[in-house]
Structure 1
Amino acid sequence: TLNEPVRAKAPTARGERMEPSMESRAASPRRIVAAPSLSIDDEDDDDDLPFDADMPPRPADILPDDDDDGWMIRAPAKAAGKPEPRVVPAAARPKPSPRIEREAQGSFIRPEGFQLPSMHLLAEPKNVVRDSTLSADALEQNARMLEGVLEDFGVKGEIIHVRPGPVVTLYELEPAPGIKSSRVIGLADDIARSMSAIAARVAVVPGRNAIGIELPNQTRETVYLRELIASRDFEGSKAKLAMALGKTIGGEAVIADLAKMPHLLVAGTTGSGKSVAINTMILSLLYRMTPEQCRLIMIDPKMLELSVYDGIPHLLSPVVTDPKKAVVALKWTVREMEERYKKMSKIGVRNIDGFNTRVEQALSKGEVISRTVQTGFDRHTGEAMYETEEFDLRPMPYIVVIIDEMADLMMVAGKDIEGAV
């Protein structure tokens, strides 16, 4: 009957399992076992857990994906009470100078003499749409990510300012006390790799307790030469040989004075922008200086870059392409330099600007600049002989020598070129 207990068969052989019959399976009530709790708070229930309770929990910044069993990295949470980095808004374009208005208005009477080139020959800057990666939210996210990268390398600090520029973005890091600047500077390559950037530049911000980290933008903004030359900074610059080189991160025009350098060597790999830089410097001089103020000597052994300037009134000679003639041109420049030094020493000035100022004063007053110099001794009496020397009252123009492909020129006439340069 159903009320009688069902007895299993005895095993027929040693080691054989004792299986209940089908009737016993149907008659015996099912036993429901509750699943053990997954909580690891109670230390007494550790034996009932299906996994080891000593295993560390999953990191908070790693979350399972909904689509598959993989893992995805979550952005680090903002620290409580940590100030947001101040994102400096992108700078406006340089203010145009009155020269643009004068050229646009024109004149009924054509002025005499040499006229500077018109701004209309240069391409106008286009309305550039700001990159979405340079928005305030994106820059704040990059700043937090950069802080996390630095913390991974053991550098603690806060990004206090973010300054987006046309080509690079500057992140100003205020390091924690005890962090050496050299330690952060040495992490430039690691920072670039961790931020998925081509390169990174790290340097101390002068005069402030901050370290600047420059990262390139995903989209480079084009800087137009007309925008720089037509700016008030360029026209109002007091530099004698002003050259527009580009923009700062703040969007201001970078104006350099070649007269204070006074030598400049441009080096770089193929396609890095050497020719663009040279042409920018030349056009900066041509748009500002007249032939009476600045004269040029151009040497181009490859006859590629500087041949387009052949025929301009600023040239002392046609563009030199023969290496032998280049040696002659450089030796003439050395003799002219020594002759100018003698003239300036006789008048008592130190540079070309002082010489031209002295000449202008003499011409305005109608004076004749002269100097008494000793020419020798009398053979009979032995007394010193003096003569009065008058100077040619003409202003000295600046002479700028431009050499393209210096390495090729040194290979042809290395000793002569090296001595003259």
Structure 2
Amino acid sequence: MMLGKFDPDHLIPQTWGSIAAVPVITGTVMALTGSPVAAVSTLAACWAANQYRTRHERDGYLFASPLPSLLNTARQASNEMTELLANYGITDSKPAGTQPGPVLTRHLIKLATGTRLGKLPTDDMARDLGVSTVQVAANAGRGLIGLDIPRPDRQYPTLSELLASTEWQNRSPDMLLPCCPAVDQFGNALVFDLATTPHLVVAGTTGSGKSVAANAMLLSLIASGADFRLMIADGKGEDFADRYQQSRYLINPVDLPKDAETPPAAVAKEIPTMRDQVLWLTQEMDRRLATGDKPFPLIFVCDELADIVMQDDKDKTITKALARIAQKARSAKIHMILITQYPTADVVHPLIAANTPSRLGLMVDKDHQSRVVIGDSGCEELLGKGDGLLKIAGSGIQRIHAANIQDSDFKNIHTEAFRRLNGEWKP
């Protein structure tokens, strides 16, 4: 298989053919017109037309690799896919094109009418192709399947690229809490409204990219200029507490009406304080629902959920409180982002899972963990580093790649937010 091999002819398409065409074009025009100016002008027009024709062959997706899309190699790889399928009993298949992305390339295969796909041995296919994993999209179009193959030259998007994307710049003004934490499989920036989620469970093993994805949500939310407040429970005290300790978006007693109870610490690192936050959220939710006073959206970020749930008392006070918030808090403009590296039924309790239909599943160890997170298998075959499966309430599961965040992103976005809140910011 030749995925990833670089050929200079793809950078400057038809290099040698273009060089050979120079004397032919200039000689012909000189013979017909006798004017060297006309010959040079014709040659320049031919070069410009050729560059325009091949422009889209060089640009494969939103965040283009420094190398161009390797079209001939992709065609050869698609032919190899059909041969591979034939080895597993699916004959008469034909290549139907490729859909390149920053991390994966999808090879579309046209199946013969009446072909029963069944369950392909993806592990054996990955071995034969020499890649870490192969995932099959059983319905990639009418009569088509898709084979998703990891690219050897993966291009992970950065948060600054996401915030400069057309999708983010042209987002709907009706979004109350717009987020842009990732790109989809084909490199398009993914924008959604956290207010309609309305809660999100983020789960995956250590190093899978949970905290990076959640930070990308919060930073893009801050960059949007939305008016909201944060409450953070960070049991590990690493990925959120220090990053947002001085944020102007942290909830403060001054933000609340006079009759509201004083909230606990806006950033908690210890289990008792984290539990106090959850119990206060239920009281604040009840107050908002009873009075109709909802001064601002409140986002509760919990990292790690297991720290609270696994030390819950016998009557599951905290678990029931989280489930009750998940059930009713949308009407009170309270939203939760619950993060865990232990995606089991003991941590993501059925009471919580039933009321949090939106999930972000990153790489996990076992199939049953994937089913706890997104209700289906697939997370165990992900690539790590922000590669995930996102399920937003009311829509299907889609493959995403979370943004890469630099330290400068935290500094720049917090500085911009500070200036905006003090009336100094200009878009």
The equivalent of 1:397 in structure 2 is 296
The AA in structure 2 aligned to 1:310 is Q
The equivalent of 2:146 in structure 1 is 212
Query: CA 1:407/1:324 → structure 2, altered by over 3 Å: closer, same or farther?
Result: same
Larger helix proportion, structure 1 or 2? Answer: 2
Could you tell me how far 1:141 is from its partner in structure 2?
Answer: 1.1
Counterpart-to-counterpart distance in 2, 1:136 and 1:417: 55
TM-score w.r.t. the length of structure 1 is 0.55
Q: Does 1:93 align with 2:30?
A: no
Supply the RMSD in Å over aligned alpha carbons: 2.3
Q: Does 1:315 align with 2:250?
A: yes
8 A contact 2:122–2:134 mirrored in 1:
yes
Counterpart-to-counterpart distance in 1, 2:222 and 2:165: 16
Could you tell me how far 1:410 is from its partner in structure 2?
Answer: 2.1
Higher relative contact order (CA 8 A, sep 6+): 2
The equivalences for 1:150-161 within 5 A come to 150-156=85-91, 157-161=93-97
The AA in structure 1 aligned to 2:304 is E
8 A contact 2:177–2:221 mirrored in 1:
yes
Q: Does 1:260 align with 2:196?
A: yes
Name the % identity.
29
Deviations along 1:5-42, one digit per CA (max 9) or x if unpaired, are: xxxxxxxxxxxxxxxxxxxxxxxxxxxxxxxxxxxxxx
The equivalent of 1:413 in structure 2 is 312
Counterpart-to-counterpart distance in 1, 2:180 and 2:214: 11
Deviations along 1:72-131, one digit per CA (max 9) or x if unpaired, are: xxxxxxxxxxxxxxx97644537xxxxxxxxxxxxxxxxxxxxxxxxxxxxxxxx84227
Q: Which of 273, 279, 293 is the aligned partner of 1:325?
A: 273
8 A contact 2:229–2:296 mirrored in 1:
yes
Could you tell me how far 1:153 is from its partner in structure 2?
Answer: 0.6
Q: Which of 223, 228, 231 is the aligned partner of 2:162?
A: 228
Gap runs ≥5 in structure 2: 1-55, 252-264, 323-427
Counterpart-to-counterpart distance in 2, 1:198 and 1:154: 22
In our comparison, the structure showing a higher alpha carbon Rg is: 1
Deviations along 1:393-412, one digit per CA (max 9) or x if unpaired, are: xx631111100111122233
Q: Does 1:130 align with 2:64?
A: no
The equivalent of 1:106 in structure 2 is none
Query: CA 1:177/1:207 → structure 2, altered by over 3 Å: closer, same or farther?
Result: closer
The equivalent of 1:299 in structure 2 is 233
What SS class does the counterpart of residue 204 from structure 1 fall into? strand
Counterpart-to-counterpart distance in 1, 2:57 and 2:146: 14
8 A contact 1:91–1:251 mirrored in 2:
no
Counterpart-to-counterpart distance in 1, 2:245 and 2:310: 25
The AA in structure 1 aligned to 2:143 is N
8 A contact 1:202–1:212 mirrored in 2:
yes
The AA in structure 1 aligned to 2:98 is V
Q: Which of 185, 198, 214 is the aligned partner of 2:132?
A: 198
TM-score w.r.t. the length of structure 2 is 0.54
The AA in structure 2 aligned to 1:264 is L
8 A contact 2:95–2:108 mirrored in 1:
yes
Counterpart-to-counterpart distance in 2, 1:171 and 1:306: 39
The AA in structure 1 aligned to 2:73 is A
Aligned residues: 248
Could you tell me how far 1:325 is from its partner in structure 2?
Answer: 1.3
Q: Does 1:140 align with 2:41?
A: no
8 A contact 1:163–1:249 mirrored in 2:
no
The equivalent of 2:334 in structure 1 is none
The equivalent of 1:65 in structure 2 is none
What SS class does the counterpart of residue 246 from structure 2 fall into? coil
Counterpart-to-counterpart distance in 2, 1:420 and 1:213: 43
Counterpart-to-counterpart distance in 2, 1:331 and 1:404: 17
8 A contact 1:243–1:256 mirrored in 2:
yes
